[in-house]
């Protein structure tokens, strides 16, 4: 990765596709998982990195995080100066927009960096360096959340990282739109999407999830949510699921990164 400079932000311009409420699943998970850390900090800062062609995701991030941490501030960072100029009219108390990239030109170290749909255009070999750069910008106790979703936010997969590196992978979906859990494979983040092949842990995980989903078919008469909960409960006997039924009810499941990391051996 090239060194950052004041005149040339690090990274490349994304397509900029965005829609209102597209990142709601990720935002709610962040508020639940990281809200206490944000609320306990002095002047907590969150970054919406690569918010795209419209500022909606940054506006919504501020609103959702403030439900858990009323003092949080959000800065939206975009590498395209025209997008920054277009977002400026939406600035308000606690929300600003700034030109930049992976160097994260914030006035202080953020406790959260959210990078959604940013790395899809990069090569898999570039991901680790970007993760390391972004984690290096975090404040102590900070969290990087990087992942991908579809255009209206029905299916979403993200990796959560701390300063030490990746911690977990979360799969989240609108259950009424799901035929089988492996439908989420198309939204795997760049670090995993090319690893969904036989012999790789993420492929084995999704195959096991599909089998658990099929076995839970009798629960479908009680609704897709009950079927998902039963499938995840079965899955947790073979994979390190780190959340509980309260999150499963939201159409989520979170798994330890070590189990799905490329090349990992399932024990």
Domain boundaries along the sequence of the chain: 24-173, 175-252
CATH number of the 24-173 domain: 3.40.50.150
pTM for the model stands at 0.94
- Please state, in angstroms and rounded to a whole number, the distance separating the CA atoms of residues 248 and 144: 22
| pLDDT (tens place) for every residue of the chain, 267 residues total | 334 444 588 877 776 678 889 999 999 999 999 999 999 999 999 999 999 999 999 999 999 999 999 999 999 999 999 999 999 999 999 999 999 999 999 999 999 999 999 998 899 999 999 999 999 999 999 999 999 999 999 999 999 999 999 999 999 999 998 999 999 999 999 999 999 999 999 999 999 999 999 999 999 999 999 999 999 999 999 999 999 999 999 999 999 999 999 987 654
Of 87, 86, 84, 81, nearest to 8 (Cα)? 81
Please name the residue that has the structure tokens 């084995």.
Answer: 204
> What element of type H or E holds 192?
helix 190-193
pLDDT tens digit sequence for 52-78 = 999 999 999 999 999 999 999 999 999
- Please state, in angstroms and rounded to a whole number, the distance separating the CA atoms of residues 77 and 7: 15
Q: What is the DSSP letter of 196?
A: -
Q: How much is the pLDDT for 245?
A: 96
Phi and psi for 216 in degrees, rounded to 5? -90, 10
Read off the tokens for 238: 């073979």
- Please state, in angstroms and rounded to a whole number, the distance separating the CA atoms of residues 221 and 14: 42
Cα of 149 vs its chain's centroid, Å = 9
Q: Are 212 and 239 in contact (CB under 8 A)?
A: no
- Please state, in angstroms and rounded to a whole number, the distance separating the CA atoms of residues 164 and 161: 7
């Amino acid at each position: 990765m090239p060194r950052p400079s004041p005149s040339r932000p690090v990274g490349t311009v994304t397509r900029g596709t965005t829609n209102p409420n597209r990142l709601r699943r990720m935002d709610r998970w962040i508020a639940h998982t990281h809200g206490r850390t944000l609320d306990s900090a002095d002047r907590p800062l969150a970054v919406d990195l690569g918010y795209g062609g419209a500022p909606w995701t940054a506006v919504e991030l501020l609103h959702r995080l403030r439900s858990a941490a009323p003092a949080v501030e959000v800065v939206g960072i975009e590498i395209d100066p025209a997008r920054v100029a277009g977002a400026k009219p939406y600035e308000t108390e606690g929300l600003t927009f700034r030109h930049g990239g992976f160097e994260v030109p914030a006035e202080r170290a953020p406790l959260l960096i959210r990078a959604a749909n940013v790395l899809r255009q990069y090569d898999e070999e570039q991901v680790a360096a970007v993760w390391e750069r972004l984690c290096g910008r975090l404040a102590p106790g900070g969290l990087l959340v990087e992942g991908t979703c579809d255009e209206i936010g029905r299916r979403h997969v993200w990796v959560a990282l701390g300063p030490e590196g990746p911690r977990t992978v979360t799969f989240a979906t609108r259950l009424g739109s799901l035929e089988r859990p492996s439908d989420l494979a198309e939204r795997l983040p760049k670090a995993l999407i090319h690893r969904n092949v036989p012999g790789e842990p993420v492929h084995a995980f999704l195959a096991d999830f599909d089998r658990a989903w099929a076995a839970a078919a009798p629960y479908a008469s009680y609704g897709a949510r009950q079927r998902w909960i039963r499938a995840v409960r079965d899955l947790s006997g073979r994979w390190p699921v780190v959340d509980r039924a309260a999150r499963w009810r939201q159409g989520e499941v979170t798994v330890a990164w070590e189990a799905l990391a490329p090349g990992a051996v399932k024990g």
